[in-house]
């Protein structure tokens, strides 16, 4: 295997590194990485930096191409990547959003305590595993066709409120109120629609999960109080996205844009960066389909929330089934936002691919691996000027799924997690070993970079008790 190139990285601060545009003739902007020196060496081991440099060559890029401390190699763009493009001169690239459109995280708070959940952990794990369909190809309780599916693609979580699966409070605590404007179901192919018809309310496989944990540590008491969080309080994290529907939307438009780029005079160092001018017919068609898939994802997480509440009611009784939503935030999405760049106020389309929105005062949810911890942060003003209002999205992989399967034993992993007081319900050994803690970076180190760099402030650390995976 060839060693990745050693790109020239200059330290702007001890936590911010830059590859200057002079590093390669086709770069239109610098490429910046938030990381400690140790994390940077991990990032250097794959093609993340090369992919970041490639992003910096795209037409109409504004400011910098950015990588967060959880960055690792992805499709076209690195996972953990952020890039903003001018609305007139810039492009939209499906690779900068990812195949799982609006993969995101939802945090619920409970009136239960750590002790209450721990006492019921085996029963709760089994009940959640039965309540939330997981794994490849699993169907949900709703079968949507025709206009019913259109209503979800247009309305997102707001449609789930109309169907009785969400409350007004749920919508108020969801990014964009659970609905991205501009969605056009007609831009979603028949194949994509077919893949989504029976998948609402399903978790899928890979790194998706439902996790019941507790607040292990509070760093900012005032912020935690605003979010309704307290030490020892039980919590629920839900991590999933748009399932097969979103994957097919990405597949369809990557193919379409690869065929169309020559007509726009766009040449790329990597075909995985396939793109079209944002303002073009191809670009706007993708934006409309992406919004529809994003709405499907918000509806999906809302439906899973309904299923989780039902499971809690069965285990603990109806009083404990309320599970109030703290926040729901996407980390694979493109949105039109406004920033000051180079002293000029500009509207740009921000691509976040494995990166979480971190607006001042908003919760920022950072899941770790199932054997370590997750974090709740609060967006800081510094993110607006430094990272287009963005943060990391998790611990970030340090090894491939193939290598994780080689190095981790499902039986040993279950024993290890049990020793930590963690109950795991998983649909397959493969799904378990691929997501072993050893496959991920140190989430504490990743989050400390974000905190110290002023992108988001630490509020609370969560520890898992019950994990459900596909």
Q: Is residue 38 domain-resident?
A: yes
Say which CATH number the domain at 348 has. 3.90.1860.10
Q: Is residue 2 domain-resident?
A: no
- What's the pLDDT score for residue 1? 47
Is it the case that residue 132 has pLDDT exceeding 70?
Answer: yes
419-442 per-position pLDDT tens digit: 999 999 988 888 889 888 899 999
- Sequence-distant (6+) residues with CB within 8 A of 259 are none
For a pLDDT cut of 70, what percent of the chain falls above it? 99
Q: Give the model's confidence band at 329: pLDDT under 50 very low, under 70 low, under 90 confident, else very high.
A: very high
Q: Is residue 444 domain-resident?
A: yes
**Inter-residue contact 470 to 432 (CB < 8 Å):** no
Rg (CA), the chain: 21
Residues 176, 90, 389: CA angle, nearest 5 degrees: 40
One-letter-per-residue 3-state SS of 245-259: HHHHHHHHHHHHHHH
Choose the catalytic residue: 208, 247, 351, 393. Answer: 393
Cα 139 to chain center, whole Å? 22
Is it the case that residue 226 has pLDDT exceeding 80?
Answer: yes
- Sequence-distant (6+) residues with CB within 8 A of 444 are 372, 373
How much is the mean pLDDT over the chain? 95
Q: Is 393 a catalytic residue?
A: yes
Is it the case that residue 272 has pLDDT exceeding 90?
Answer: yes
**Inter-residue contact 325 to 236 (CB < 8 Å):** no
Handedness of CA 279, 285, 286, 287 (dihedral sign): positive
What's the pTM?
Answer: 0.96
Mean pLDDT for 53-69 is 98
Mean pLDDT for 355-373 is 96
Q: Is residue 318 domain-resident?
A: yes
Q: Is residue 322 domain-resident?
A: yes
Is it the case that residue 24 has pLDDT exceeding 70?
Answer: yes
- The DSSP 8-state label assigned to residue 358 in this structure reads -
- Sequence-distant (6+) residues with CB within 8 A of 163 are none
- Of 408, 391, 395, the C-alpha closest to 330 is 391
Q: Give the model's confidence band at 56: pLDDT under 50 very low, under 70 low, under 90 confident, else very high.
A: very high
Is it the case that residue 465 has pLDDT exceeding 70?
Answer: yes
Sheet of 344-353: strand order equals 10-13, 16-19, 31-34, 61-72, 79-86, 344-353, 332-341
Q: How many CA atoms lie within 13 A of 350 on its CB side?
A: 26
How many structural domains does the chain have? 1
Mean pLDDT for 37-41 is 96
- The DSSP 8-state label assigned to residue 79 in this structure reads E
Cα distances (Å, whole numbers) of residue 93 to 125, 239, 251: 39, 24, 12
Q: Is residue 437 domain-resident?
A: yes
- What's the pLDDT score for residue 5? 73
Host domain of residue 322: 10-469
Mean pLDDT for 61-83 is 98
- What's the pLDDT score for residue 348? 98
Residue 389 CA to residue 367 CA, distance in Å, equals 19
| 3-class DSSP assignment, residue 117 | helix
The H or E element containing residue 274 is none
**Inter-residue contact 380 to 456 (CB < 8 Å):** yes
**Inter-residue contact 82 to 355 (CB < 8 Å):** yes
Q: Please report the beta strands in 221-368, taking only residues with DSSP state E, as ranges in sequence order.
A: 233-240, 276-277, 324-330, 332-341, 344-353, 356-357, 363-366
Mean pLDDT for 85-109 is 98
Q: Is residue 3 domain-resident?
A: no
Q: Is residue 144 domain-resident?
A: yes
105-128 per-position pLDDT tens digit: 999 999 999 999 999 999 999 999
- What's the pLDDT score for residue 142? 86
Please provide the size of the chain in residues. 470
């Amino acid at each position: 295997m060839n060693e990745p190139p050693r790109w020239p990285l200059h330290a702007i601060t001890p936590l911010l590194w830059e590859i200057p545009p002079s590093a390669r003739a086709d770069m239109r902007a610098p490429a910046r990485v938030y990381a400690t020196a140790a994390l940077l060496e991990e990032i250097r081991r794959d093609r993340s930096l090369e992919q970041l440099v490639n992003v910096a060559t795209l037409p109409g890029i504004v400011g910098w191409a950015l990588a967060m401390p959880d960055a690792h190699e992805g499709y076209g763009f690195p996972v953990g990547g952020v890039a903003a493009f001018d609305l007139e001169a810039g492009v939209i690239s499906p690779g900068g959003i990812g195949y799982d459109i609006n993969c995101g995280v939802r945090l619920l708070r409970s009136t239960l305590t750590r002790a209450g959940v721990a006492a019921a952990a085996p029963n709760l794990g089994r009940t959640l595993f039965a309540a939330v369909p997981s794994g490849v190809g699993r169907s949900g309780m709703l079968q949507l066709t025709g206009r019913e599916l259109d209503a979800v693609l247009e309305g997102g979580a707001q449609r789930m409120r109309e169907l009785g699966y969400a409350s007004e409070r749920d919508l108020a605590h969801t990014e964009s109120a659970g609905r991205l404007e501009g969605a056009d179901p007609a831009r979603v192919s028949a194949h994509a629609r077919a893949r989504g018809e029976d998948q609402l309310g399903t978790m899928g496989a890979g790194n998706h999960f439902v996790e019941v944990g507790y607040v292990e540590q509070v760093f900012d008491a005032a912020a935690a109080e605003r979010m309704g969080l307290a030490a020892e309080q039980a919590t629920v994290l839900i991590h999933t996205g748009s399932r097969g529907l979103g994957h097919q939307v990405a597949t369809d438009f990557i193919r379409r844009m690869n065929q169309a780029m020559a007509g726009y005079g766009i040449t790329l160092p990597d075909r995985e960066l396939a793109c079209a001018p944002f303002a073009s017919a191809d670009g706007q068609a993708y934006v409309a389909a992406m919004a529809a898939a994003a709405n499907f994802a918000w509806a999906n997480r809302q439906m899973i929330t309904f299923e989780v509440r039902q499971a809690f009611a069965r285990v603990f009784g109806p009083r404990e089934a309320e599970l109030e939503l703290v926040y729901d935030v996407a980390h694979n999405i493109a949105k039109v936002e406004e920033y000051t760049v180079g002293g000029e106020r500009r509207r740009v389309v921000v691509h976040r691919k494995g990166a979480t929105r971190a607006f001042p005062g908003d919760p920022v949810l950072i899941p770790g691996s199932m054997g370590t911890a997750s974090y709740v942060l609060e967006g800081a003003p510094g993110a607006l000027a430094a990272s287009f209002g963005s943060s990391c999205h998790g611990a970030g992989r340090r090894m491939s799924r193939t290598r994780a399967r080689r190095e981790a034993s499902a039986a040993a992993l279950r024993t290890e997690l049990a020793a930590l007081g963690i109950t795991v319900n998983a649909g397959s050994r493969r799904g378990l070993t691929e997501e072993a803690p050893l496959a991920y970076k140190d989430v504490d180190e990743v989050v400390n970079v974000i905190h110290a760099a002023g992108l988001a402030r630490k509020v609370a650390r969560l520890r898992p008790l019950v994990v459900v995976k596909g």
